[in-house]
Each structure stands twice: as structure tokens, then as C-alpha cells.
């Protein structure tokens, strides 16, 4: 742990400048340490003299204001707290768009292996369903909005386009047309299922953290992006649909598969934005071209036209 005056990096100087502005902490001895994980921001644990509670503080990464509405993220965090699926949050520095939440003890970040356990997987489905049943969020941002936003940003930044970008764009437009023709099922969505955003307890219960990308979005997109992030095969996708809805449905399965492709197009293009603006030590280019590759693998499936018809 470091104390005030010990900063050596820009991120540490930023966190020191922030924590001295928190009114309830003034006059207390403060210490902090970096917390690993996340590929958009720099994260810290804050300890305050005389308090047993630890705090989690997030310093926004460079350029993240291009695609993150932090007022909407704070509202989503508050809603998650209210319904019992997220940590306590504090509005100490909301005016600076700096998020502070409870540092949850007694839980660990998940790994991909955790979700091979049906009990943990079903608990995640329960948490998703609970979040989806909550009131609408103040921000509506569908996967279509996200993709169009990132396409525009890559174009303006002079970022990397894959050689088959035009084909990928046409495939996205076909999927969008099919989904919009069938009607969108918009609910409060998490939208960011990195393993580290699921905190697992000894009882296999789950808390969600990091609601920066939360918005009203297509229900099955939220399940599809989780499936893609965890590399679930189709038999697990079918089991998730049955667990979530109470029965398996072929059209819901098709819709989930289409959304898995859209999720990869969204995050591959997001990565090319980050590749141009981020100062974090992460290979966004490699991440993006891998996501492009997986989107292609889904769209090249001979069943893709049938999936589009079935949604």
C-alpha cells in the first residue's frame, strides 16, 4: 500500500488528487494500491484510517468518454446495488466522473473454468434474469448503436479496418434488419461479462461489478456476449436458454447465435478504437483481430441464413 505523496506514475498521481477531495475522508490517513484487471481504466483499492470498509476507485482511461456515459454507469451501479446484485456505491466523486464502490471482501473474480460448473452457470443466469427484470436504465444503447458508434470512431481516428470490412458491415446490416423486423426485446442489460466482473463467493453466489457499459439493450444480446466471452459450445447455449426462459426455443437459440456474431463485431471495432487512444499496456490490435476472426467463423456457418430467418 502507498500513502499520499508516494505517487510515481500518472495513474497514482491521479488517484491521490482524487481521494483528497472526498469530504468524508478528509483528516484521515489514506492508503492505496493498484488493483489488476480491466482493460479500459486504472483501478485502485483505497483504505481509510478508522474504517473497516475498503473502497474500490476507478480512474477513467484515456478516451473512454468516447463510448462510456459515466452518469448512466453510476445510475446502473446504483440500480444493481438496490436489487442486490452489485456492491454498495458512493457518490463522493461523481462530479468528476470517478466511480467509488465498496471493495467486496470474501469473493474472488471468476475464471472461465468456473462457468463449467452448472451450479455457477445457473447462478449467473439467475443474476442476469434479476437484472433484466429491474426498471429500465436511463440510457438506451443497443448493440446496433454501439457498432455504429465504433465504426464512426475508427473512421475518424484512422484506425485499422480488416480487408473484409465491407463484407462484415453488410453481414451486420443483414443481422440488424432481421432482428429489427422481428421486434427488439429491450431490458436493462449488463453488456460487459469479462470474467473479472463476476465475483464468486464460497457458496457459489455471484455479485456483478463494473456497469460502465450497462444500458437498455436486447435481452439475448446480454446472454450471447456472456456465452461468447466464456467460450460456451452450442449445447451449453441451449441449456442457458432453457434455464433462463424455462424451456428451449429454436428461435431464441438462433437469436442468441446472431447476437454472438454482433458482439464480436462490436468488441473487435471497439478494440480498434482503443488501439488508437488507450495508454494502457494491452494489445488491443491482437484482441480486435481475434474478435474479427470469431465473428467470421459464426457468419460463415452454413446455418447463418437459417438463423437470420429464425429470429
Handedness of CA 217, 222, 223, 228 (dihedral sign): positive
- pLDDT of 63: 86
Q: Which three cell numbers stand for residue 20?
A: 483528497
Distance between CA 303 and CA 131 in Å, rounded? 31
- pLDDT for 176 equals 98
200 three-class SS: strand
Neighbouring C-beta atoms of residue 2, cutoff 10 Å: 16
- The pLDDT value recorded for residue 62 is 83
Q: Are 218 and 141 in contact (CB under 8 A)?
A: no
pLDDT tens-digit map of 133-176: 999 999 999 999 999 999 999 999 999 999 999 999 999 999 99
pLDDT at 142: 98
The residue-averaged pLDDT of 32-37 equals 89
Q: So what's the pLDDT on residue 300?
A: 98
The reported pLDDT for the residue numbered 264 is 98
**Is 80 exceeded by the pLDDT of residue 37?**
no
Say what the pLDDT of residue 36 is.
Answer: 83
pLDDT tier at 41 (50, 70, 90 boundaries)?
confident
pLDDT at residue 210 above 90? yes
pLDDT of residue 273 exceeding 80, the answer is yes
| pLDDT tens for each residue of 85-139 | 999 999 999 888 899 999 999 999 999 999 999 999 999 999 999 999 999 999 9
Nearest to 22 by CA among 87, 81, 103, 90: 90
Q: CA triplet 250, 217, 146: central angle to 5 degrees?
A: 110
Dist CA 58 CA 43 (whole Å):
5
Q: What whole-number distance in Å separates Cα of residue 301 and Cα of residue 173?
A: 17
Facing residues of 30 across strands? 48
- The full set of domains in the chain, from first to last, is 2-102 (3.30.200.20), 108-310 (3.90.1200.10)
Amino acid at each position: 500500500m502507498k500513502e499520499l505523496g508516494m505517487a510515481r506514475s500518472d495513474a497514482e498521481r491521479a488517484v491521490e488528487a482524487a481521494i483528497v477531495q472526498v469530504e468524508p475522508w478528509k483528516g484521515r490517513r489514506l492508503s492505496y494500491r493498484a488493483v489488476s484487471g480491466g482493460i479500459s481504466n486504472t483501478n485502485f483499492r483505497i483504505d481509510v484510517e478508522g474504517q473497516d470498509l475498503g473502497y474500490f476507485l476507478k480512474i477513467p482511461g484515456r478516451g473512454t468518454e468516447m463510448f462510456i456515459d459515466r452518469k448512466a454507469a453510476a445510475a446502473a451501479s446504483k440500480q444493481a446495488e438496490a436489487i442486490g446484485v452489485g456492491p454498495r456505491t458512493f457518490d463522493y466523486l461523481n462530479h468528476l466522473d470517478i466511480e467509488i464502490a465498496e471493495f467486496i471482501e470474501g469473493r474472488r473474480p471468476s475464471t472461465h473454468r468456473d462457468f463449467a460448473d452448472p451450479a455457477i452457470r445457473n447462478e449467473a443466469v439467475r443474476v442476469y434474469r434479476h437484472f433484466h427484470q429491474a426498471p429500465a436504465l436511463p440510457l438506451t444503447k443497443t448493440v446496433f448503436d454501439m457498432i455504429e458508434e465504433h465504426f464512426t470512431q475508427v473512421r475518424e481516428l484512422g484506425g485499422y479496418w480488416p480487408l473484409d470490412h465491407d463484407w462484415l458491415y453488410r453481414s451486420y446490416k443483414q443481422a440488424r434488419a432481421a432482428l429489427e423486423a422481428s421486434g427488439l426485446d429491450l431490458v436493462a442489460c449488463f453488456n460487459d461479462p469479462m470474467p473479472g466482473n463476476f465475483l464468486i463467493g464460497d457458496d457459489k453466489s455471484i455479485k456483478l461489478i463494473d456497469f460502465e457499459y450497462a444500458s437498455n439493450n436486447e435481452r439475448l444480446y446480454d446472454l450471447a456476449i456472456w456465452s461468447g466471452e466464456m467460450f460456451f459450445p452450442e449445447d451449453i447455449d441451449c441449456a442457458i436458454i432453457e434455464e433462463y426462459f424455462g424451456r428451449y426455443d429454436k428461435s431464441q437459440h438462433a437469436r442468441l447465435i446472431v447476437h454472438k456474431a454482433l458482439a464480436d463485431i462490436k468488441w473487435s471495432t471497439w478494440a480498434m478504437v482503443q488501439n488508437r487512444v488507450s495508454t494502457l499496456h494491452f494489445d488491443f490490435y491482437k484482441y480486435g483481430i481475434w474478435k474479427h476472426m470469431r465473428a467470421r467463423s459464426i457468419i460463415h456457418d452454413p446455418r447463418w441464413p437459417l438463423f437470420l430467418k429464425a429470429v
